Chains A and B, each alone.
Chain A
Amino acid sequence: MKSLAQLKVWRGAPPEEGHYEQYEVPFESGNSVLDGLRYIRSHFDRTLALRFACINANACKECMVMVDGKTVYGCTTRLEAREMRIEPLRNKDWIRDVVSEIGPPDERLPEV
């Protein structure tokens, strides 16, 4: 049985201010917010920037986003049949769409 989630996703990149875009994503019970965002990329808009590596294992810790104002892992948060607001992390530098700079400072490309 498929349900529909209304994903309100933060889009844009600095120096823009950013804005929300709304997507209707079909899902099965158990599907994650990350699944929903990947669905958007394959079906509606390939330019949505995301970051994740392990998809399932909750091992890479790359998929952190804010859902309805709370910091969560996109891959462990389930989709629900309602509006869900997805934004980049508030306390990190914003890079693009829902991606923020999460690499530890001493593991980034050195400034030359």
Chain B
Amino acid sequence: MRNLETDVLVVGAGGAGMYAAVEAARLGSRVILADRGLIGRSGATVMAQMTVAAAMGEPADDSVEAHLADTLKAGRGLCEPDLSRLLCEEGLECVREMDTWGVGWARAEGHLTPVMAPGHDRPRCVYVDFLNTGPAVSRTLRTQVIRSPLVQRVGDLCITDLVVHEGRCAGAVGVHLPTGEAVTIVAGAVVLACGGLTRLYARNSASSNMGGDAYALALRAGAPLIDMEFVQFFPIGHLAPRMIGMDPIMWDPFRYKLGGRLLNGLKEEFTHRYGTEDGGRYTITRDQATYAIYKEVEAGRGSPHGGAWLSFEHLPAEQLRAAFGPVVDRLAKNGIDLAKTPIEVAPIAHYHMGGVAVDTRMATAVPGLFVGGEAVGGANGANRLSGNAITEAFAFGRRAGASAAEAVTALAASAVADPAASAARIEQVRAQAQRLIEATLTPGTLPAEANTAAAIDELQVIMSRKVGPFRTEAGLREGLEGVRALAQRFHAAPSFAPGAFDPVWLDWFDLRNMTLVAETVAVAALERTESRGAHQREDHPGLDPDWTLHLESRLAGPTDAVALVQSQVNPQIALARVPVNAGAAA
């Protein structure tokens, strides 16, 4: 067993986690920045090739108010306005700070060249050429992290549970993947910045680390989540042929710019059948496009891989070259020649609006526990405005890091006042953490033939079919039953002690979190009997003003960590309705 101690533990080293670490260290805290993969290469940020929304006000006028108005409008009445404002305001500061750190936002003639994105009232989205936004952002933040002597970077460390001591989050436990060894970390404060849940779905645009770890860790620590029914699907994600090294959501701007044609399996235009006359302008909304593709596939008119064709064949090769630039060559490497062949697209899980409930300090209901990035719930309401994901990673990461450092400072003051009590407390937390990780890693009775990797595939299929973008009561109930049955089948731990880079144990940890988070999404989706933003109930069409409220999820029953680990039954979710806080920022 390895025992570590620090002021601030940051879980997740993507955009939000790295920003949190840099900020906490800047304020004087010692930080451990932990990730289950490699530092700065894990998570969603590094994969994002598109744009970052910020009211930079150049070359044309812009304002935080205008950005905020677009964000709130996209959120269909469910944004927490204070959080949305923070996203737009502090996000802007961070985008400027990133500029001073040399990220390289695209410029021409001495000024930024922000582009238009759907839902914005003006060009507001900065980027790094060509399709290089995420990698450039990650590299820049990683450099800042490395320059912070107070930050210790620890990759290949999979955090399995948080430690709550006397009502306060006081650290975490996990497994060091290369050795399979147990790890305890005593911390003054913890920041969860390990992203969303898109891995719950078979087709998704994010990394295999996005299985909802942050939500599961928060739930088990006693922190409530909100808006878990709102999973954003991206309508024309890349489906086939297999394409490597490209963001699967890259087709959108090209479709807008060039007028790519969406065709069904019979190579017919079809979006007009769903009351969405495209009129040759190719601007139907995301949810309409998703719906139309789903329905065509359901009617047996899908493309060979179960999506739709996206065709640029009607355009001359020179025009494609002019619009796609060097991307044409990267496509050619993937065997794709847009002038000759269409590609297949389908709706893919892209982002999660729901998340851990926080205040504007990014503080959760559990003292000492903070959240940053996509793991935060509330800022984007029922639907996220395009371009806001990296902005929120910056803003919420930085804010979470600052708040965690502040909490640690308060703790340090009491340690100075009573050093003996403080040392005793650290010992107690460590002992508690050791009991928890020992209980977690105790071999169980999972049958040898139970294939944990196949179970994850199975969960993804259930979620895609039953808890996807279009939902019905019957489907959601079936989905929920399927998720629960799977969770029960894989409830017992593997029957051997974890080894080096143990894939079965890693799957098992993932299944434990993914089934819990899947249940949370399904339960909330079943409860919300209306259609709003990303949550579309075919049996309850249309937005119902009475539903302008959040569904808050928490764990029903005991939340003692060791008891939860040892329990023989699936944890259950309890829902509550909480009003949208039309706070000062509205």
B-contacting residues of A (Cβ < 8 Å)? Answer: 13, 28-32, 35, 38, 41-43, 46-62, 75-76, 95-97, 99, 101-104, 106-110, 112
Contact = CB atoms under 8 A, between A and B. Distances in A.
Given A59-B41, A60-B37, A96-B501, A110 B47 contact: no
Contact of B207 (A38, A60, A101): A60
B504 A46 contact: yes
A13 B499 contact: yes
A62 B13 CA distance: 15
Interface in B174-229: 176, 178, 183, 207-209
Q: Which of B176, B244, B500 has the most CB of A within 10 A?
A: B244
B3 to A, nearest CB: 7
B360 interface: no
Interface in B148-188: 152-157, 176, 178, 183
B507 interface: yes
Interface residues of B, number: 48
A87 to B, nearest CB: 15
Contact of A75 (B176, B244, B454): B244
B335 A53 contact: no
A100 to B, nearest CB: 10
A28 B2 contact: no
10 contacts: A49-B501, A53-B43, A53-B208, A56-B245, A57-B246, A57-B247, A58-B244, A62-B41, A99-B501, A103-B38
Contacts of A30: 240-243, 334-335
Contacts of A43: 454
Given A51-B37, A57-B247, A112-B3, 13 more contacts: A29-B241, A42-B454, A52-B208, A53-B38, A53-B208, A54-B46, A54-B208, A56-B244, A76-B244, A97-B501, A106-B153, A108-B178, A112-B4
B248 interface: yes
B4 A110 contact: yes
A78 to B, nearest CB: 8
B242 A31 contact: yes
Contacts of B207: 53-55, 57, 59-60
B209 A103 contact: no
Interface string B90-132: 0000000000000000000000000000000000000000000
Given A51-B501, A54-B46, A75-B244, A59 B135 contact: yes
Interface of B: 2-4, 37-39, 41-43, 46-47, 134-135, 152-157, 176, 178, 183, 207-209, 240-248, 334-335, 451-454, 457, 499-504, 507
Nearest to B245: A58
Nearest to B496: A47
Given A46-B453, A112-B2, A107 B242 contact: no
A107 B501 contact: no
Residue from A30, A43, A97, A103 having most chain B Cβ neighbours under 10 A: A103
Given A95-B178, A112-B2, A42 B453 contact: yes
Given A46-B507, A109-B183, A112-B2, A96 B500 contact: yes
Contacts of A99: 501
Q: Which 6 A-B pairs have the closest CB atoms?
A: A30-B242, A58-B245, A41-B453, A57-B47, A53-B207, A107-B153
A45 B557 CA distance: 36
B38 A46 contact: no
Nearest to A35: B242
Nearest to B183: A109
Nearest to A43: B454
B458 to A, nearest CB: 9
Contact of A53 (B37, B334, B503, B504): B37
A42 B47 contact: no
B113 to A, nearest CB: 24
Nearest to B454: A42
A49 to B, nearest CB: 5
B364 to A, nearest CB: 26
Contacts of B500: 13, 49, 95-96
Contacts of B503: 41, 46-50
A36 to B, nearest CB: 12
Nearest to B176: A109
Contact of A60 (B2, B42, B244): B42
Contact of B154 (A35, A60, A62, A109): A109
